[in-house]
Amino acid sequence: MTLKTSLIVAGLAASTATGAMAQDMPGALSYGPRPFYLIDKMEDGPLKEQLQSCMGQTPATSKFSIGHRGAPLQFPEHTVESNVAAARMGAGILECDVTFTADLELVCRHAQNDLHTTTNILATDLASTCVTPFTPATDDANATAECRTSELTLAQFQSLTPKMDAANSRATTVEEYLGGTATWRTDLYSTQPATLMTHAESIALFDALGADFTPELKSASVEMPFNGFTQADYAQKLVDEYVAAGIDPARVWLQSFNLDDVKYWVQNTPEFGAQAVYLDDRYEASDDDEGLIDPNDRATFKPTMQELADMGVRYIAPPMWMLLTLDADGNMVASEYAKAAQEAGLNIITWTLERSGPLTTGGGWYFQSVAGATDTDGDYFTILHALREEAGVVGVFSDWPATTTYYANCMGL
């Protein structure tokens, strides 16, 4: 563990009697202004009235509220600072997307090949390790670059400075390329260096914050096995770091888009496999797909929800748009996908609230199935309510967990 991370974790643990953020500790938990702003923007109705009735409630941590890479709406993702912010907003579960370095150490990154957009690597001597060097934009082509953790040792990785995940595709210089943060996000909390984390450091930090864990085993950008490191080794090493830290398996929700990873955990590490989460991306084409899912056509569910349950899968996590559709009156209702998952006894987690832009401009990819029923940012709460009441979700990833925490607290979740 780096000295900076060790000091942060020690300070958090020392600030509470149990190593968890005490509910009565001044400043420990706070919604901030955003949930109240969103409620004010809602159309009048019973849901708005119910949410308004909770405005005096004391914030409490909720496992319904999951920090998606921390709180990356405003903080550099997968950093100490981003996750501390998420915990202070009441996120009861925090995420470390896991990939590996050249020396096979596990670190928190959304992808093995995202260093060119999430760190300053292109402005350092380590730019020479990038598999695709920076190429400036031209009249006919966007700027390009690709930099991987698998090209760096752990020490080299730890020397980088994280930033907001963004790039200026029309950049002609590295400095321009490292910009590009969306106007509805901010660089305010990137002006002083944030702190990168290894997976082991994330375990220590989340434990000190009193949060549970949902690590995602990311697909490798390199061919596996890598330096003798097999996919099974990778999946096992993830579990081994929780065992080494003495973490109760009941506090861990392992995740993967690779169904074989989930099956590995179910079969080989059953205590951890009991809560393993199959991240469902069958809406995308790949070489081994039997066919793409239409969330409202059960004939396209291959394997079926019951077949997944029979494999030992207990949790499934599709994007939000796959769980909701609009009825003839324009109301948000459960999709056939959500109904089938419920019938098979699968627990549903979904992603990602407040991720792809304001609802006033359509909300983007994550909200495509309900775009016809959203016209104000207050509809984040309308969507949350439909996800819970119609689709039956047990947890929601968010880029700004305060919104989800407020809803969960108000609804007694």
CATH code at 93?
A: 3.20.20.190
pTM of the model: 0.95
Q: Is there a single domain that holds both residue 205 and residue 339?
A: yes
Indicate the residue among 189, 224, 247 that finishes a domain: 189
Cβ atoms of residues 363 and 408 within 8 Å: no
Tokens of 366: 């994550």
Query: What pLDDT sits at residue 224?
Result: 98
> What is the number of other CB atoms lying within 10 angstroms of the CB of residue 97?
23
Q: How many domains does the chain have?
A: 2
Q: Is there a single domain that holds both residue 231 and residue 316?
A: yes
Q: Is there a single domain that holds both residue 112 and residue 83?
A: no
Query: What pLDDT sits at residue 5?
Result: 67
Over residues 66-125, the pLDDT tens digits come to 999 999 999 999 999 999 999 999 999 999 999 999 999 999 999 999 999 999 999 999
What torsion, rounded to 10 degrees, do the Cα atoms 372, 373, 377, 381 define?
A: -140
Owning domain of residue 63: 3-100+196-411
Which segments in the chain show pLDDT lower than 50?
A: 16-26, 289
Give the C-alpha distances (Å, rounded to integers) separating 50 from 21, 42, 89, 386: 27, 12, 20, 15
How is residue 68 annotated by DSSP?
S
If we measure between CA atoms, which residue out of 249, 253, 243, 306 comes closest to residue 278? 253
Indicate the residue among 135, 154, 189 that finishes a domain: 189
Q: Is there a single domain that holds both residue 372 and residue 346?
A: yes
Query: What pLDDT sits at residue 25?
Result: 42
Helix axis angle, 231-244 to 199-208, nearest 10°: 30
Q: Is there a single domain that holds both residue 183 and residue 218?
A: no
Q: Is there a single domain that holds both residue 393 and residue 268?
A: yes
Query: What pLDDT sits at residue 19?
Result: 47
Query: What pLDDT sits at residue 361?
Result: 86
Give the C-alpha distances (Å, rounded to integers) separating 86 from 35, 46, 69, 81, 166: 14, 28, 9, 9, 20
Query: What pLDDT sits at residue 373?
Result: 95
Q: Give 327's contacts (C-beta < 8 A, 6+ positions apart).
A: 333
